[in-house]
Amino acid sequence: MSTESLRIVWIYPDLLSTYGDRGNALILARRARQRGMPVEVMEVRSDQRLPATADIYLVGGGEDGPQALGAQRLIADGGLHRAVAQGSVVFGVCAGYQLLGMSFFAKGVQCRGLELLDLQSDRGPSRAVGELAGEIDPRLGLPALTGFENHGGRTHLGPEVSPLARVSAGVGNDGSTEGAWRGKLLGTYSHGPALARNPALADLLLRWATGAHQLPPLDDTWSDRLRSERRAAVAAARA
Amino acid sequence: MPLRAKVASSVSRTAAALSRAAGRGDGSVIGGWIGLKIDPDLLAHLSAGRAIALVSGTNGKTTTTRLTAAAVGVLGRVATNSFGANMPTGHTSALAKAGSTPYAVLEVDEHYLAQVLEATEPHVVALLNLSRDQLDRAKEVAMMAQLWRAALVRHTDVRVVANADDPMVVWAATPPADPARGINPPHVTWFSAGQRWHDDSWVCPECGSTIQRNGDQWWCTGCALRRPDPQWVVEDEGVLDPTGAWHKVSLQLPGKVNVGNAATALAVAAEFGVRPVDAVSRLGIVTSVAGRYAQVDKDGRNIRLLLAKNPASWLEAFDMADDAPTLLSINARDPDGLDTSWLFDVDFAPLRGRQVLITGDRAYDLAVRLDVNDVPFQHVRTFEDAIRSVPPGRLEVIANYTAFQDIRAELDRVN
**pLDDT per residue over B40-95, tens digit each?**
788 998 999 999 999 999 988 999 999 999 999 999 999 999 776 888 889 998 99
| Residue B313 sits in the same domain as residue B260 | no
> Final residue of a domain: which of B254, B285, B316?
B285
Same domain, B37 and B101: yes
Same domain (yes/no): B179, B279: yes
| Digit-coded pLDDT (tens) for B277-328 | 999 999 999 887 877 888 889 999 999 999 888 888 898 899 889 999 999 9
Which of A15, A30, A196 shows the shortest C-beta gap to B344?
Answer: A196
Q: Which CATH number belongs to the domain containing residue B71 in this structure?
A: 3.40.1190.10
CB A196 to CB B365 under 8 A?
Answer: yes
Q: How many residues does chain B have?
A: 415
Q: Is residue A11 part of a domain?
A: yes
Per-residue pLDDT averaged across A228-234, rounded? Answer: 96
pLDDT digits (tens, 9 = 90+) for A136-160: 999 999 999 999 999 999 999 999 9
Which residues of B fall within a CB distance of 8 Å from A17? 199
- Is B402 inside a domain boundary? yes
Please give the single-letter amino acid code of residue A24: N
3-state secondary structure A164-216: EEEEEECCCCCCCEEEEEECCEEEECCCCCHHHHCHHHHHHHHHHHHCCCCCC
**Which one, of B336, B330, B327, lies nearest residue B365 by Cα?**
B330
- Domain identity same for B261 and B385: no
- In this prediction, residue B415 carries a pLDDT of 41
pLDDT tens per residue, range A147-199: 999 999 999 999 999 999 999 999 999 999 999 999 999 999 999 999 999 99
Is there a single domain that holds both residue B265 and residue B299?
Answer: no
Quick one: average pLDDT of B249-262? 91
Is A120 within a domain?
A: yes
C-alpha distance from A16 to closest chain B C-alpha (Å): 11
The sign of the torsion formed by the CA atoms of B364, B367, B371, B373 equals positive
Q: C-alpha B331: how far from its chain's center? A: 20
A114 within 8 A of A84, measured Cβ to Cβ: no
Nearest to A19 among B342, B372, B373 (CB): B342
Half-sphere exposure of B325 (CA within 13 A, CB side): 16
Q: Which residues of B touch A13 (CB under 8 A)?
A: 199, 202
Examine residue B96 and state whether it is found in any structural domain, yes or no: yes
pLDDT more than 90, % of chain B: 58
Give the integer Cα–Cα distance in Å for B247 and B68: 16
**A36-50, A91-105, A216-230, B17-31: which range is least confident on average?**
B17-31
Residues on chain A touching B371 (C-beta within 8 angstroms): 222
Cβ contact B210–A45 (<8 Å): yes
| Residue B55, pLDDT score | 97
Asked if residue A126 belongs to a domain, the reply is yes
Q: Which residues of B fall within a CB distance of 8 Å from A19?
A: 135, 339, 341-342
Residue B290 lies in a domain: no
- My answer on whether B404 and B263 are in the same domain is no
Q: Where are the beta strands (DSSP E) in B282-325?
A: 295-298, 301-307
Question: Which residue is closest to A193 within chain B, CA to CA?
Answer: B341
> DSSP for B10-75?
HHHHHHHHHHHHTTSS-STTHHHHHHHHH-TTHHHHHHTTSEEEEEESSSSHHHHHHHHHHHHTTT
> What are B154-210's pLDDT values in tens digits?
888 899 999 999 999 999 999 888 778 777 778 999 999 877 777 777 788 888 888
Q: Are residues B247 and B344 in the same domain?
A: no
Contact B342 A20 (CB under 8 A): yes
Residue B217 CB neighbours (<10 A): 10
Q: How many domains does chain A have?
A: 1
- Residue type (1 letter), B135: L
Quote the pLDDT of residue B414: 42
Domain that holds residue B277: 3-285
pLDDT band at B24 (very low <50, low <70, confident <90, very high): low
Out of A47, A63, A193, the one facing B142 most closely (by C-beta) is: A63
pLDDT tops 90 at residue B2: no
End position of a domain, from candidates B221, B256, B285: B285
Amino acid at A148: F
Summarize pLDDT for A90-127 with one digit per residue, the tens. 999 999 999 999 999 998 899 999 999 999 999 999 99
Q: The domain that contains A23 carries what CATH number?
A: 3.40.50.880
Residue A91 lies in a domain: yes
CATH of the domain at B386: 3.90.190.20
Q: What residues have CB less than 8 Å from A37, skipping those under 6 apart? A: A5, A6, A210
The answer on pLDDT for B236 being more than 60 is yes
In this predicted structure, the answer to whether residue A3 has a pLDDT above a threshold of 60 is no
Contact A47 B210 (CB under 8 A): yes
> Into how many domains does chain B fold?
2
Given a cut of 80, whether residue B226 has pLDDT beyond it is yes
**The pLDDT of residue B8 is above 60:** yes
User: How many beta carbons lie within 10 A of that of residue A102, not counting itself?
Assistant: 16
Tell me, rounded to whole angstroms, the distance of Cα B312 from its chain centroid. 12
- Identify all chain B residues contacting A191, using CB atoms and an 8 Å cutoff: 341
- Residues B29 and B136 placed together within one structural domain of the fold: yes
Q: Among residues of chain B, what percentage have pLDDT more than 70?
A: 89
> Do B345 and B300 have their domain in common?
yes
- Asked if residue B155 and residue B22 are part of one domain, the reply reads yes
Q: How far is CA B122 from CA B81, B83, B169, in A?
A: 15, 20, 19
Let me know whether B90 and B113 are in one domain: yes
Q: Provide the β-strand partners of residue B379.
A: B358
Tell me if A50 is assigned to some domain: yes
| A211 falls within a domain | yes
Residues in chain B with CB shorter than 8 Å from the CB of A229 are 364
User: Which residues of A touch chain B, with CB atoms under 8 Å apart?
Assistant: 13-15, 17-23, 26-27, 30, 45-47, 63, 65-66, 69, 129-130, 148, 150, 191-193, 196-197, 222-223, 225-226, 229
Domain with A115, as residue range(s), is: 6-238
Q: Contact B199/A17, CB-based, under 8 Å?
A: yes
